[in-house]
Structure 1
Amino acid sequence: MSNLLSIAKSGLAAAQAGVATTGHNIANEKTPGYSRQLVIQSSLGGQNLTGGGYIGNGTNVDSVKRIFNDFLAAQVVAAQSSTSQLDTYYAQMNKVNNMLADSSVGLAPVIQSFFKGIQDLVNNPGGASSRQAMLSGAEALVSRFQSMDGQLSSMRAGVNNEITGAVTNINAYAKQIAQLNDAIAKAQNGSGQPPNDLLDQRDLLVAELAKQTKVSIVQQAGDYNVFIGNGQPLVVGNSNYDLVTVTSPTDPGRLEVGYVSNGTTYTIPESSLTGGNLGGLFEYRSQSLDPIQNALGRIALGLAATFNAQHKLGQDQNGNLGGDFFSLASPAVTGSTKNTGNAQIGASISNVDALTTSDYRLSYDGTNYKVTRLSDNASMYSGATFPAGTIDGVDFSVTSGTMASGDEFLIRPTVNGASGLNVLIKDVKEIAAATPIRTGAPTTNTGTGAISAGNITSAFDGSAVTTPVTLTYDSAANTLTGFPAGMPVTVTTNGVPTTFPAGTPVTYTAGSVISFGGAEIKISGAPANGDKFTISANTNGDGDNRNMLALGELQTKNVLQGGTASYNSAYSQLVSLVGNKTRELQTNSASEGALLKQMQTAQQSESGVNLDEEATNLLRYQQAYQASGKVMQAVSDMFDVLISLGR
C-alpha cells in the first residue's frame, strides 16, 4: 500500500512541477531574452515484489530544462552586431546627406549668388554699389562654407559623445555578465541544476553587448569569457576589464578607445573594433566624415586659390595690381603627444589641383622618414632624408628641432579649408576689375592687322609697360620690332613656344600669343608695312571690366581637381557621393535587418514561448494531476476496505 501512495505522490509532484513550469513560461511570454522551459522526468524503475514481474515506483523530476540552441544564439549575436553597425553608420550618414542635399543651406545657391554679383559688376565696373554687392556675395559664400564646416565639426563632437556612451554601456554590460557568471556558478554548485533564468539574463546581456561592439564568446566551466577587438578579454569568469575613452595622441579633438590592464591603458586600433554601435561610429568617422570635411575644405581651397590667381592679374581702382581676394587656410599639423624629439613640422600647399581628401602621417623610425596616406594606407615616401618633394600638392618642412625615433605627426592638408576661408578685400576700390595694360592701333594703319585687348600673367610686374611700347611691322622681313630693351619675347603658336632674344626682331605669325615681361597680346590679320600697335599701362581703368569678365568665367570653367571640375560640379560630386553612400547604407541596413529578423524568428521558433502549445501542456499536466489524485483516492478506498475487514 505504501508503494502505491509514493507512486501517486510522485505523479502529483511531477504534474505540479509541470503546471508551475508551464505557468512560468506563460508569464514570461513577453520577457526579452526568455527561453521556454521544460520539465524533464524519468522513471524510478521497478521492484519484483510478487515474483511475477517488476512493478514501477513512480516518476522523478530530474531537471527543468531550458530550450536553447547555442548555434542559433551565436548567429543572432553576430547578425545583431552587423545590423547595429550598419544602422549607426546609416543614421550618422543620413544627417550629413540631409545637410548637403538641402538647397537652402547648400553651397550651390550662394555660389550662384556670388557670381551673379560678379556679372553685375561686369556691367558696372566703376559703380561702388555693384562692388559692394559683389563683396557682400563673397561674404555670404564664405559664411556658408564656415557654417557647413561648423555643422560637420558638431557632428564630429557628437561622435565623440556617442563613443563615450558606447564605452559606458559596454563596461556596464561586462560588469553584469561577470556578476552573472559568479551567480550562475554558485547556483549550479549548490544545487547541481542549471539556473535557467540567470542563464537567460546572461545571454540577453551578451546580445545587448553585441549591439555595442562585436564580441567573441568562449564557454569555460559554465562561465562566459567575452573578448573584443584583437582578442582583448572583456570578461573572464567573474572578473571584468574596463574600457576607457582616450584622446588621440595626434588629434586632440578625436576620441579613441583604450583598454585598461594592470593599471595601464592601451589604445585599441579603430580598425579592430568592428561591429555594433562602436564599429559604426568609427567607420563613419574614418570612412565618411573625415573625407567629407576634407572634400569641403578642398573645394574652398581650390576656389580661393583659382579666384586669387585671376584676381591678382587685374588692377584695382587705385591703380595697383590685385591682391589675394580670399584667404587660404594652411594645413593642420599636430605632433603626437608621445613624441620624444623636439621637431616642429610645417606643411604648405603648393598645388591645389593635386590635393586629395586624405590625411597623412609623417613618421620616423630612427633610420627612415615615412609619409603614409591614411585613406588607403599608401606609402607616399620612404627614405633616410626628410621628404623634400611635393606629395599630393603638399610640401613638408622641418621648421625647427629634430625628430626622434618613434616620433610621428598628423598632417591634414584640407581640414581647415572651409573654416579658414575669409574675404581679405574690405575696400571696394581694391577689387581688381580692370586689366593693368591697354592696347591700341593708330587709325593711320593701312593693313587689316588688329591687336587684342591684352592681359597679363603672374610674371607681370609693370616694368614691361613703364614706358608705352610701340610695335612696328616690317612687311619685308615679316617681323615686329619695338619691344622693351632687355626683354626676351616669346611667341606661342598652336601651343608651341618660340623665344626670341632681347633686341631681336620677332617673326610675325597671325593669331599667335606674344608675351614679354608678363604682358600678353595677340595680333591677327594682315598688317601693312609700317603699321604700328601700342601697349601701355592702364592709367584709367574705372570702366574696364576685362579682369572681372575673366573672374566671371571661373564659374563654369573646370579649374578644380586637375581641370576636371568646376566649383559647382565639384560640390555636386560631393553631394552625389554622400547621397549614393547613404542609399547604399540604407539598403544594406534594411537587408541586414531582415537577416537578423530571420535569425531571431528561427531562434524563437525553438526557444520562444508558444501560448497555444503551453495551453495544451497546461491541460495535459492538469489531467495528469487529476489522474494522480484519483490514484491517491483509490489507495484511500483500499485502506478503508482493509480496515473494515479487520472489524
Structure 2
Amino acid sequence: MINSLLSLGERALMNAQVGISVTGDNIANIDTAGYARRTVGYATSYSVSIGGGLSVGTGAEVEEVRRNYNTLLESNYLSANSETSAWAAMAEALYNVEKLFGQTNDYGVATALDTFMDSLAALEGSSDDNSEAVRQELLSYAETLVDSLSMLDSSLDDALNTLEKDAAESVDQANSLMKEIAALNASITSHPDSLELQDQRATAIRELSSLVDVQVLSDGSSVTVLTAGGQTLVEGDYAYELSWENPQVETDLSASSSFDGALYFNGASSDELLVEVTSNGPADGSASAATFRVSLDGGDTWLTDEDGAVMQFTAGGYEDKVEVAGVEIWFGQSGDSGAPTTTNLAAGDTFDVMPKSGLYWHATTGGKVNITPLQGEGTNNRLSGGELAGIVMARDEGLLAYQEELDALARELIWEVNYQHSQGAGLEHYTGASGSYEVDDETIPLAESSLPYADHLQAGGLAFAFYDKDTGEALGVEALDFSSITPGTANFDPEVHSLQDVADAINASYPGQLQADIQDGQLQLTAASGVEFEFAGDSSGLLAAVGLNTFFTGSNASDMAVDPRVAADTDRINAATVDGAGEVASGDSSNAVALAAMADKEVRLDSVHSGTSQSLSSHLHALTGKVGADTDAAARNYTQSNALAAELDARQQEVAGVNMDEELTNLMRYQQAYQAASTLIQTTNELFDTLMSLKS
C-alpha cells in the first residue's frame, strides 16, 4: 500500500507539472498569431483490488493536450473572410477609379464636355468681328475635351494593368499556400500530436481564404480544401494549381460533332461569351450555314432581339464574322484563322470565348476549368469570394464596363458632331480633301465594311457645290448620282455601294470638276484646276462615315482627336451651310445652330451595358454617378461583411484565444495540486519511516 501511495503521489506530481507546462506555453504565446489555446485532458487511472471486494484508485493520467478550436465557427469565419476580402479588393480598386472621374468646376471630363457644348453655342452667336476668337476658343475647348477623354481612358488602362498584375500575384500566393497546406497535411499525418503544425495549417487556410473562397473537410489528421464552387485545391499531400491566363477560347464539342476547326475572336470586352451552336451546318456564312446563340452569363440567359426572341447568328469565316458585345467572332481552320473550315459544326457544340484574362483551375488529368467570376444564376461553379474574385469583379463590373461606356460615349460624340459638321461649310472652300477613315476592302458594300461607323450609314443623297477659284463665283449645286453604278438608283445605298462605287460615282457625276481616288483604303478628292468645292448636304451619313468635312477623327476615347485640317485652320469649322444656289452667306451660322442643339439631343449609346436615351452630357454624368454609387456599395458591403467576420473571429478567440486571467487561475490551481501531491509523497514517506521504526 505504501508503494501505491508513492506511485499515486508521483503521478499527481507529474500531472500538475504537465498542467503548469501547458499553462506556461499558453502564457508565452498570448500574442502569437494563429496560436490556439491548449488545455490538458485528464482521465482516471486504473483501480487495484485490496481484498474483501474493495478496490482503490491509482490517480489520474494525462490523456491528451487538447487544442481548443471550434471547426464550425472557423468554417463560417472562412466564408465571411473570403467575402470581406472580395469587397475590400473591389472597394479599393473602385475608390482609385472614382478619383479619376472626380469633377470640379474647372476640371474633369464632364466639365470639359459641358464647356465644349457651351463653346458650340457661342459659335452660333458669333459675328464676323469676333468669329476668329470664338473659333479659336472652340478649338481650344475641343482639344481639352479630347485630352480629358484620352487621359481618363489611359488612366483606366493603367488601373486595369495594375489589377491584372495584382491578380497574377494573388494566384502565385494562392498556389504557394496550397503547397504549404499540402506539406503540412503530410507532416501532421506523420506527427498527429503536433499541435504547432495544426496551428500553422489553420493559419495557412485562413490566408488562403483571403485570396479565394474555401471550404474545408477533415478526415482527422488530414484536411481537404475546396473552393465554394467545388474545385479541389488541396487533397492530402497533393496541391492542385490555379493559373491566370491570357484571352482564349475553350472548345467543348458534342459527342456527334466532327468539327475539327476553331473559333476565333477579335476585340476585348468585360463580358465572357458562351457560344452554343443551335443548328448543324458549315461555317461559311451561307444560307445553309450553322447558326449559334450567345450568352453573357454562362448560359443562364441568351441574347435576345427587340421582340424578346433569342438572337440567332450565322456561323461564317473571317469574311463573314459577326460582332457580339463588341467582340468579332468567326470560324477557321485550327492554326489558320483566315482559312475556311472543311468540317461542319453540330448542334450542341459550345465555345467559351474569354476576350480578357481569366482564372483557371487545373485538374490532375491535365485539363483546366474556367473559374473566373461570372454574373448569373448558372455560375455556381465559379469563384465567388476572396481577393481574386474582388479583383475580377472590380475589373469586369467596374473598370472594363466604365471604359466601354466611355468609349461608347466618345464614339457617339464623334459621330454626332461629325455628322452635323459635315452638313456645313467653313470660311474657305476645298481644293482637295481626304477621308480620315479607311476600309480593308474597297469593293464590298460599305454597310459590311471595316468603317468604324458603317452601322450608322443609311440610304440617302449627297450634293456638291462648285466655285470658280479665281472669282469665287458659285458654279452650281449638283447631287451625286449613282445611276451609272446601279441603273435606276440615283441615291447612295450602303447595302449596295462600296467605297469604289462612291469614287466611281463621283468621277461620273462631276467630270472636269472633281476627281475621286482611293489611297490606302481612304477616299481622296481633288478639284480640277481653277475649281473649288463644298459639300452641300448629306442625308446618308457617308461624309461622316468616311471622314470628309468632319470635326473629329477616331472612334473611341483613346484615338479621338480634332481633325488635323480643323486644328491647322479654324476657317474649316463649319458654322454655315451651302444654300440652294451654292452660296455660303457671310455671317451665316445655321450649321452652328444645329451643332449647338446637340447639347440637348437625346442619344442612345451603342453599348451592351447601356440602354437609355439621353443627352451626351447626361450620359457622362450618369457614368460618373455610377462609379460613385458602385464605390459606395462596395465600401458598404465591405463594412457589413467585415463586421460579421470580426464577430466570428472574436467568437473563435473566445474558444482558441489565450485569456491571461484564466491562465493565471489555472496556474494557481496546478500549483496547489503540485503542492498537494508533494504533501502526499511527504506524508507517505513519514508513514513508511514510522512503519520501519516499528520493525526495529
Q: Bin the TM-score by the shorter chain.
A: 0.5 to 0.7
Contact kept in structure 2, 1:81 and 1:210, CA below 8 Å = yes
Q: 1:273 aligns with which of 348, 359, 383?
A: 383
Deviation at 1:350, TM superposition (A): 4.7
Could you tell me which residue of structure 1 aligns to residue 147 of structure 2? 143
Contact kept in structure 1, 2:411 and 2:555, CA below 8 Å = no
Deviation at 1:258, TM superposition (A): 2.9
Could you tell me which residue of structure 2 aligns to residue 57 of structure 1? 58
Amino acid at match of 2:372: E
Sequence identity, in percent?
A: 29
Contact kept in structure 1, 2:86 and 2:388, CA below 8 Å = yes
CA distance in 2 between counterparts of 1:416 and 1:641 reads 109
Q: 2:402 aligns with which of 276, 282, 292?
A: 292
2:583 is the counterpart of 1:538: yes
Could you tell me which residue of structure 1 aligns to residue 207 of structure 2? 208
Deviation at 1:120, TM superposition (A): 4.0
Contact kept in structure 1, 2:243 and 2:361, CA below 8 Å = yes
2:664 is the counterpart of 1:554: no
CA distance in 1 between counterparts of 2:146 and 2:434 reads 14
Q: Deviations over 1:536-582 (max 9, x none)?
A: 3224x442222112212222333444883112111111111122222
Give the 3-state SS of the residue equivalent to 1:61 in structure 2: strand
CA distance in 2 between counterparts of 1:597 and 1:80 reads 9
2:227 is the counterpart of 1:228: yes
2:570 is the counterpart of 1:428: yes
Deviation at 1:59, TM superposition (A): 1.3
Could you tell me which residue of structure 1 aligns to residue 159 of structure 2? 155
Give the 3-state SS of the residue equivalent to 2:424 in structure 1: coil
Q: 2:190 aligns with which of 177, 186, 206?
A: 186
Contact kept in structure 1, 2:217 and 2:224, CA below 8 Å = yes
Give the 3-state SS of the residue equivalent to 2:357 in structure 1: strand
Deviation at 1:290, TM superposition (A): 1.8
CA distance in 1 between counterparts of 2:215 and 2:114 reads 54
Where do 1:373-388 residues align within 5 Å? none
Contact kept in structure 1, 2:185 and 2:222, CA below 8 Å = yes
Q: Deviations over 1:340-362 (max 9, x none)?
A: xxxx9958545579xxxxxxxxx
CA distance in 1 between counterparts of 2:79 and 2:233 reads 17
Deviation at 1:645, TM superposition (A): 3.2
Mean CA deviation greater in 553-562 or 230-239: 553-562
Q: Deviations over 1:316-375 (max 9, x none)?
A: 1123599999x78999xxxxxxxxxxxx9958545579xxxxxxxxxxxxxxxxxxxxxx
Pair 235,346 (structure 1): closer, same or farther in 2 beyond 3 Å: farther
CA distance in 2 between counterparts of 1:13 and 1:257 reads 55
2:687 is the counterpart of 1:638: yes
| TM-score normalised by length of structure 1 | 0.68
Q: Deviations over 1:160-202 (max 9, x none)?
A: 11111110110111011011101100012xxxxx322211221
Q: Deviations over 1:49-83 (max 9, x none)?
A: 25372221121101111111111110011111111
Give the 3-state SS of the residue equivalent to 2:35 in structure 1: coil
Pair 235,169 (structure 1): closer, same or farther in 2 beyond 3 Å: same
CA distance in 1 between counterparts of 2:127 and 2:686 reads 121
Give the 3-state SS of the residue equivalent to 1:102 in structure 2: coil
Could you tell me which residue of structure 2 aligns to residue 443 of structure 1? none
Contact kept in structure 2, 1:99 and 1:105, CA below 8 Å = no
Contact kept in structure 2, 1:308 and 1:324, CA below 8 Å = no
Deviation at 1:230, TM superposition (A): 4.3
Contact kept in structure 2, 1:313 and 1:322, CA below 8 Å = no
Where do 1:573-592 residues align within 5 Å? 573-592=622-641
Contact kept in structure 2, 1:315 and 1:433, CA below 8 Å = yes
CA distance in 1 between counterparts of 2:630 and 2:388 reads 19
Pair 610,243 (structure 1): closer, same or farther in 2 beyond 3 Å: same
Amino acid at match of 1:77: L
Amino acid at match of 2:44: S
2:428 is the counterpart of 1:318: yes
Gaps of 5+ in 2: 249-264, 269-354, 374-381, 441-447, 458-493, 496-553, 606-610
CA distance in 1 between counterparts of 2:639 and 2:438 reads 41
CA distance in 2 between counterparts of 1:259 and 1:87 reads 23
Amino acid at match of 2:90: Y
Contact kept in structure 1, 2:120 and 2:596, CA below 8 Å = yes
CA distance in 2 between counterparts of 1:328 and 1:629 reads 99
Q: Deviations over 1:569-596 (max 9, x none)?
A: 1111111112222222221111111111
Could you tell me which residue of structure 2 aligns to residue 301 of structure 1? 411
Contact kept in structure 1, 2:27 and 2:663, CA below 8 Å = yes
Contact kept in structure 2, 1:328 and 1:417, CA below 8 Å = no
2:158 is the counterpart of 1:164: no
* Pairs aligned (count): 472
CA distance in 1 between counterparts of 2:229 and 2:681 reads 63
2:299 is the counterpart of 1:255: no
Mean CA deviation greater in 312-321 or 630-639: 312-321
CA distance in 2 between counterparts of 1:558 and 1:248 reads 36
Could you tell me which residue of structure 1 aligns to residue 115 of structure 2? 113
Amino acid at match of 2:620: Y
Pair 79,330 (structure 1): closer, same or farther in 2 beyond 3 Å: farther
Pair 116,625 (structure 1): closer, same or farther in 2 beyond 3 Å: same
Could you tell me which residue of structure 2 aligns to residue 372 of structure 1? none
Contact kept in structure 2, 1:21 and 1:38, CA below 8 Å = yes
2:384 is the counterpart of 1:282: no
| TM-score normalised by length of structure 2 | 0.63
CA distance in 2 between counterparts of 1:20 and 1:53 reads 36
Amino acid at match of 1:56: G
Amino acid at match of 1:231: G
Give the 3-state SS of the residue equivalent to 2:30 in structure 1: coil
Deviation at 1:624, TM superposition (A): 0.3
Pair 230,592 (structure 1): closer, same or farther in 2 beyond 3 Å: closer
Q: Deviations over 1:410-456 (max 9, x none)?
A: xxxxx97211211112321211111211xxxxxxxxxxxxxxxxxxx
CA distance in 1 between counterparts of 2:97 and 2:79 reads 28
Mean CA deviation greater in 45-54 or 598-607: 45-54
Contact kept in structure 1, 2:188 and 2:198, CA below 8 Å = yes
Give the 3-state SS of the residue equivalent to 1:49 in structure 2: strand
Mean CA deviation greater in 165-174 or 311-320: 311-320
CA distance in 1 between counterparts of 2:577 and 2:453 reads 27
Pair 328,101 (structure 1): closer, same or farther in 2 beyond 3 Å: farther
Q: 2:661 aligns with which of 612, 616, 619?
A: 612
Give the 3-state SS of the residue equivalent to 1:31 in structure 2: coil
Amino acid at match of 2:165: N
Contact kept in structure 2, 1:48 and 1:54, CA below 8 Å = yes
CA distance in 1 between counterparts of 2:438 and 2:626 reads 24
Amino acid at match of 2:190: K
Q: Deviations over 1:616-640 (max 9, x none)?
A: 1111011000110111111222232
Pair 346,430 (structure 1): closer, same or farther in 2 beyond 3 Å: closer
Amino acid at match of 1:580: A
Q: In terms of Rg, which structure is larger?
A: 1
Give the 3-state SS of the residue equivalent to 1:418 in structure 2: coil
CA distance in 1 between counterparts of 2:662 and 2:173 reads 37
CA distance in 1 between counterparts of 2:29 and 2:437 reads 64
CA distance in 1 between counterparts of 2:574 and 2:614 reads 25
Deviation at 1:125, TM superposition (A): 5.2
Amino acid at match of 1:268: N
Provide the aligned C-alpha RMSD in A.
Answer: 3.0
CA distance in 2 between counterparts of 1:321 and 1:94 reads 52
2:557 is the counterpart of 1:418: yes
Contact kept in structure 2, 1:79 and 1:595, CA below 8 Å = yes
Contact kept in structure 1, 2:103 and 2:111, CA below 8 Å = no
Give the 3-state SS of the residue equivalent to 1:270 in structure 2: coil
